[in-house]
Structure 1
Amino acid sequence: MAEPEPEHAAVVPLYLRVAAALRSDLTDRQISPGSRLPSERSLAHRYHVNRQTVRSALQLLREERLVVTDRRGTFAAGTEHGPRVPALTAHRQTFPGGTEAADALVRASLAWEAPPAATAGRLALAPGEPTLVHRHVVLSPGGTSLQRSVSWFSRPAVAEIPQLARYRRGGNTVPQPDLRLLYHWMHQAGLRLTRRESIAVPPASATGVGDGTARLVVHRVVCDQHGHALEITDIDFAAHGAAWTYEFSG
Structure 2
Amino acid sequence: MKEFEVYSSLRVPKNSKIIIRLDGRSFHKLARDLKLVKPYDDNFYNVISEVCRDLFEEFSAQFVYSFSDEISLLLDNVPFDGRVEKIDSVMASFAASSFVMHYDVEFKKPPAFDSRIIPVGDGDILDYFRWRQDESWRNCVNSHGIAYLKSKYSNSQANDKIKGMNLSDIHEFLFANGINLNDVETYKKRGIAVYRKNKKVTGFNKKENKNQVSYRSYIYADWELPIFSEKFFKDIGVIK
**Between Structure 1 and Structure 2, which shows a larger proportion of strand residues?**
1
| Global fold match (TM > 0.5) | no
Higher relative contact order (CA 8 A, sep 6+): 2
**Between Structure 1 and Structure 2, which shows a larger proportion of helix residues?**
2
TM-score, reference length from structure 2: 0.22
TM-score, reference length from structure 1: 0.22
